[in-house]
Structure 1
Amino acid sequence: MTTMLELEKVSVHYGRIEAVRDINLKVEEGEIVSLIGSNGAGKTTTMRAISGLRAVHGRVLFNGDDISRMKAHDRVTAGISQSPEGRGVFPGMTVRENLNIGAYARRDRVAITEDFERVLDLFPRLQERLKQAAGTMSGGEQQMLAMGRSLMSRPKLLLLDEPSMGLAPMLIQQIFSIITEIRQQGTTVLLVEQNAKQALKRSDRAYVLETGSITKTGTGAELLADDSIKDAYLGVA
């Protein structure tokens, strides 16, 4: 396997507060890797460090290149795209306009059209709402739009931050099925999730983050079977 993403002793500070401390993490090409943990553990901060939205101590490597000082928009061009926590759609813009923004850095018009069709195949509900303002859609539809917009940059690595947050159980199942399909289509996925059970079921490997440090790692199946993980994270998943 080829290592696509590697974090080497990455720390992130908010002023004097150390939100993430000496994290080592790897994502191999073609994997789904999950990062689980409670609220405030540092999961979103880690995602922001990878996507370039937070300055880091340590090194972030992408396909072997040190991107620790690379600007966020250049990381998108390099092949990293993030669907943020809370969806972050542009509410006054239509579904089509939101998707087009996902391809803002691209000039390959034929391939953009192909990816637009791919997104609509993955999320048929968006097809029906192309002219609708994003802010008028349901939470589940907005999540689909946020993920679709991220895919429009044709990423090598897709960062998904809490994609199931606030969704009904039936929609959660649908979102996770789509995540699996995205991987099957050739996109590597790093997933931050509070719904640990669903995340671990679909993950090749996973990391547990507690108060800014990684405390455990293993395959998804290993962590699903771990009694300490069951007690801490799987009771209500």
Structure 2
Amino acid sequence: MSLLELSGVSVHYGRIEAVSDITITVEEGEIVTLIGANGAGKTTTMRAISGIRPLSAGRISFAGEDITKLRADLRVVRGISQAPEGRGIFPGMSVAENLDMGAYTRKDRKELRGDIERVFELFPRLAERRTQVGGTLSGGEQQMLAIGRALMARPKLLLLDEPSMGLAPQIIQQIFRIITEINEQGTTVLLVEQNAQQALSRAHRAYVLETGHVVKSGTGAELLTDESVKESYLGVA
């Protein structure tokens, strides 16, 4: 049984079909990445998984349970947490307050202190800025905060939507190292990313989306050496 399974999923925006009949699986313990050009349907797929966009057709199951019609907040309770595209932090709240907001669904309040310390171990920069308001952080620091906030829900599945967008190469390397570390600590990761080189280098498996369809899948290593992927997404002719 896969941790996450999308079966024949389609999503529309009005009459426009953004995702068409896609089937994707994520096994427990994996990093799986979705790559593709802008408008390929990657972010729509993530929104469907997190419950923000309703399906036009198909089914989503998580840990053996059909969650197709489950509300977004209840999916967080089940164990799906997302760091959205554009980070979406609370700019007027401090780093510590943002992290606390990530745990809003949890009942085990006594254990929050340890989880905040775990986030600070992963992201020492955030520990230095714990009282600083989110809106004054750099882009890289805001991305770290978005990931840290998502981790505060103790997810079984962490959804990361374009975590490297707009960041300097050195910060991108750091973010991807931490994503690998999060995975090695036991969290399954589904990653949408335009930086295909970094994503495929870190991913166990990957899917290529084009105009709302899955056109290719394989291990990260296989797709790194695939000629059409190299030409289209890795800048190698």
Establish whether TM, by shorter chain, passes 0.5: yes
Instruction: Let me know the Cα RMSD of the aligned residues.
Output: 0.8
Secondary structure of 2:17's counterpart equals strand
1:100 match: 100
Q: Please give the alpha-carbon distance, in whole angstroms, between the structure 2 residues aligned to 1:71 and 1:96.
A: 27
2:78 match: 78
1:27 match: 26
Identity of aligned residues (%): 70
Secondary structure of 2:21's counterpart equals strand
2:189 match: 189
2:139 match: 139
Q: Please give the alpha-carbon distance, in whole angstroms, between the structure 1 residues aligned to 2:117 and 2:109.
A: 13
| Corresponding position: 1:6 with 2:16 | no
Q: Please give the alpha-carbon distance, in whole angstroms, between the structure 1 residues aligned to 2:68 and 2:111.
A: 29
The answer for unaligned runs of 5 or more in structure 2 is none
Q: Please give the alpha-carbon distance, in whole angstroms, between the structure 2 residues aligned to 1:202 and 1:160.
A: 13
Q: Please give the alpha-carbon distance, in whole angstroms, between the structure 1 residues aligned to 2:207 and 2:25.
A: 10
Instruction: State the TM-score, normalized to the length of structure 1.
Output: 0.98
Name the aligned partner's letter for residue 175 of structure 1: I
Report how far residue 111 of structure 1 moved: 2.1
Name the aligned partner's letter for residue 45 of structure 2: T
1:175 match: 175
| Corresponding position: 1:59 with 2:69 | no
2:40 match: 41
Name the aligned partner's letter for residue 162 of structure 1: E
Q: List per-residue Cα deviations over 1:74-108 (Å, max 9, x = no partner).
A: 00000000000000011011111100000001121
Any runs of at least 4 consecutive aligned residues in structure 1 with deviations exceeding 4 A, and if so which?
none
Q: List per-residue Cα deviations over 1:198-226 (Å, max 9, x = no partner).
A: 00001000000000000000000000000
Q: Please give the alpha-carbon distance, in whole angstroms, between the structure 2 residues aligned to 1:102 and 1:61.
A: 23
Q: Please give the alpha-carbon distance, in whole angstroms, between the structure 2 residues aligned to 1:170 and 1:216.
A: 30
Name the aligned partner's letter for residue 39 of structure 1: N
Secondary structure of 1:221's counterpart equals helix
Q: Please give the alpha-carbon distance, in whole angstroms, between the structure 2 residues aligned to 1:149 and 1:196.
A: 25
| Corresponding position: 1:91 with 2:91 | yes
Equivalent residues, number: 235
Instruction: State the TM-score, normalized to the length of structure 2.
Output: 0.98
Q: List per-residue Cα deviations over 1:132-157 (Å, max 9, x = no partner).
A: 11001100000000000000000000
2:15 match: 16
Q: List per-residue Cα deviations over 1:173-220 (Å, max 9, x = no partner).
A: 000000000001000000000000000001000000000000000000
Name the aligned partner's letter for residue 85 of structure 1: E
